[in-house]
Amino acid sequence: MSLLRCYDQLVDTLRSTLADLSDKRTGSNTQYTMEDIGLSAFSVFFTQSPSFLAYQRIMEENKGQSNAQTLFQVEKIPTDNHVRHTLDPVEPREIYPVYDAVYGTLREEGILDTFHAVHDTELIALDGTWYFSSQSDNVQCKNCSSIEHRSGEVTHYHSAITPVIVGPSQPYAIPLRPEFIVPQDGREKQDCEINASKRWLDANGAYYNTGNQTILGDDLYAHQPFCRQVLLNNYHFIFVCKPSSHKHLYEWLEPMETGTDIRTVKKRAKNKKKHWEQHVYHYVNNVPLKEGEGALRVNWCEVTITSKGKRTYHNTFITDWEITDQNVAGIVAAGRARWKIENENNNTLKKSGYHLDHNFGHGKAHLSSTLATLNILAFLFHGFLTFCDEAYRMIREKLPTRQTFFDHVRALTTYIYFPSWEAMMNFMIRRLEIGPHAIDA
């Protein structure tokens, strides 16, 4: 696989993938290519400017050229309604090759190595998140899930598993192919997070598994069927394990004596505020996850963190990694990194400019999930540029927030024509007076 080394190559890869999207149009209105339709939708998410296409049409009328052409390779700009109508039959999986290309480059460039944790393992966190909901019967599709409330009202919603690569010391999360929670053919019950996660493992396990990956998840995942599914796909696991949902395991632990059956490790460490904390770990190997014959044997650990005499954190985990005095702190750190899927991925997508839970278009088939796939892909592109584009990284570090960056991009692309991505980055660097480039202003 050729490496993606710059923004233009990212867009080239996206364009070539979008050119192969299923085209279900049967009428005469085919003046816009599938790649122009897909790139137009993606440009809105990448710039986080709902009116981006409208502004670029005005710019093209006034100047004969637009940023849609130079930044996103859009030859002809379709209307928003035409984009929605044409993308509705397109399934999200048709866009996954772009995720794979970015992932492949990050791996080949050694960037994923910086995410490695205990036992040099790569951490993949799983979690489900809603990205659309409505209580209107007029806004639903065949792929909606639903909840009927006691009041009789029904909420229609879409949700997905959004796997990411995380690292204990990394402030970023790298999105992988999502898996959408949708009604399954031949099943009476609604789809759920666990079933979608199992499908993700079965469909993508071999692709992402290079021999040493660990799946992270909350207590929902810490049950025997899913743990076995992880092991069958040749992954390791570290899952949160609460006493309230694992009574047999904790009944097994209860008579054990700390210091003999249950090992104790104590460490002092400084937190992010440079204050000293006391970390106390307890662990025991080879305990049954559930009652009865054939119970999966797992390894259990607990951490309690105190600062200035007050408990600031406590949690418990199970894993298939053998726990020792030397690695228990690393296993707990890896398990705690699971929260990055919420803080650095899902919450960022919803609250830091990407508006994942906004209804960009619902459609009757796949539109909602396909637009969500493009939105998450835009987030992945921004993450890729953070690692691989020095100018982009310098600008992001200079601006106080991600939202500020999007505000600048929206304003600049509305009023100024840039012949290339590099030209826009250089313009921002000079105006922000960043580094040696500032003297060129």
More confident residue, 342 or 376: 376
Taking residues 416-437, report their average pLDDT: 90
Please report the pLDDT score of residue 361 as a whole number. Answer: 75
Same domain for 286 and 332, yes or no, is: yes
Q: Give the pLDDT band of residue 441 (cuts 50, 70, 90).
A: very low
Same domain for 407 and 301, yes or no, is: no
Q: Give the pLDDT band of residue 109 (cuts 50, 70, 90).
A: very high
Please report the pLDDT score of residue 346 as a whole number. Answer: 64
Taking residues 359-373, report their average pLDDT: 86
Residues near 215 by Cβ (< 8 Å), separated by ≥ 6?
A: 124, 125, 126, 201, 221, 230, 235, 236, 237, 238, 239
Is the pLDDT at 295 greater than 70? The verdict is yes
Whole domain around residue 397: which residue ranges? 7-92+360-440
Please report the pLDDT score of residue 440 as a whole number. Answer: 45
Please report the pLDDT score of residue 142 as a whole number. Answer: 78
More confident residue, 149 or 134: 149
| C-alpha torsion sign, points 59, 63, 65, 67 | negative
Q: Give the pLDDT band of residue 45 (cuts 50, 70, 90).
A: very high
The answer to whether 224 and 190 have CB atoms below 8 angstroms apart is no
Is the pLDDT at 439 greater than 90? The verdict is no
Q: Of 352, 346, 441, 345, whose CA–CA distance to 399 is shortest? A: 352
Is there a domain that residue 105 lies in? no
Taking residues 339-343, report their average pLDDT: 78
Is there a domain that residue 47 lies in? yes
Query: 229-286 pLDDT, tens per residue?
Result: 999 999 999 999 999 999 999 999 999 888 778 999 999 988 877 888 999 999 999 9
Mean pLDDT of the chain: 89
Same domain for 67 and 175, yes or no, is: no
Please report the pLDDT score of residue 3 as a whole number. Answer: 61
Taking residues 52-63, report their average pLDDT: 96
On whether the pTM is more than 0.95, the answer is no
Q: Which of 349, 369, 401 finishes a domain?
A: 349
Helices 402-415 and 421-431, interaxial angle, to 10°?
Answer: 110
Same domain for 343 and 214, yes or no, is: yes
Read off the tokens for 228. Answer: 């076995």
Same domain for 344 and 365, yes or no, is: no
Q: How far is CA 164 from CA 50, 99, 174, 194, 341, in A?
A: 26, 11, 5, 16, 6
Is there a domain that residue 104 lies in? no
Q: Give the pLDDT band of residue 188 (cuts 50, 70, 90).
A: low
Please report the pLDDT score of residue 143 as a whole number. Answer: 79
Percent of the chain scoring above 90 in pLDDT = 70
* Integer Cα distance of 273 and 266 in angstroms: 20
Please report the pLDDT score of residue 359 as a whole number. Answer: 67
Please report the pLDDT score of residue 280 as a whole number. Answer: 96
Is there a domain that residue 221 lies in? yes
Same domain for 225 and 156, yes or no, is: yes
Is the pLDDT at 437 greater than 60? The verdict is no
Please report the pLDDT score of residue 158 as a whole number. Answer: 84
Is the pLDDT at 340 greater than 70? The verdict is yes
Taking residues 210-238, report their average pLDDT: 95
Same domain for 258 and 201, yes or no, is: yes
Number of compact structural domains in the chain: 2
